[in-house]
Structure 1
């Protein structure tokens, strides 16, 4: 803080009503430098090439229940066509109302994610929580033309 001394003063300092912001600016600059140094250190990105995980397919039940979503968004339970409104009825018939039955969902890769989640929500709301997703094995997906791929759960 600054003070003014006059020649006629008897040594007493007068009050200064101005705010001295220099210490505040110094503190802010020190904090800015600390954050400029610390920020890049906290976001270090180490490039890592992760390996492909190839797990063995789980045991498939003798008579699995498949729900299929085709490219044109048509639904099927097993071989029977159904609708979103009848899906829980047809799944109940296919599983004999056993909620612990594992259900496999096959979906065309062009099906929007929202449609897939809609089917999952219908199953979850009806109490079917054991849902498996069906995909192609990496080696089978690259099979030569004319070879029938095996679908793995």
Structure 2
């Protein structure tokens, strides 16, 4: 795993520009594993990253596991218990004609995710860390976000 870029002092209002910057760094057909504590901003980031042409609201797929929005698929593996469940999801079916695949809580299943993606897909990881020492005027903590590339 290689650190590509790091951002510090990121607030919700910075997420749209951060999303655009990340899209300029990573290639199309990229899977992005989102890691961080509950409430660290993984789903909020995903909402800013996904460009839904239809105007559909992006929500956490905690209960459906995978949602499709425009050119992205968004998964939440929080409830998955073992790697065999990833195999049964048939990820390839969700990724036809998609540019990005964002996966919350996907780190424990990295091996299974990579085995179930076509070989042209690259895997990245965004790590979210709450920085409680840096807050805005509303007393909301900032985030430190790191982008890694998996090989």
Verify same fold: TM over 0.5: no
More strand by share: 2
Greater relative contact order structure (CA < 8 Å, 6+ sep): 2
Higher CA-based Rg: 1
TM-score, normalised to structure 2's length?
A: 0.30
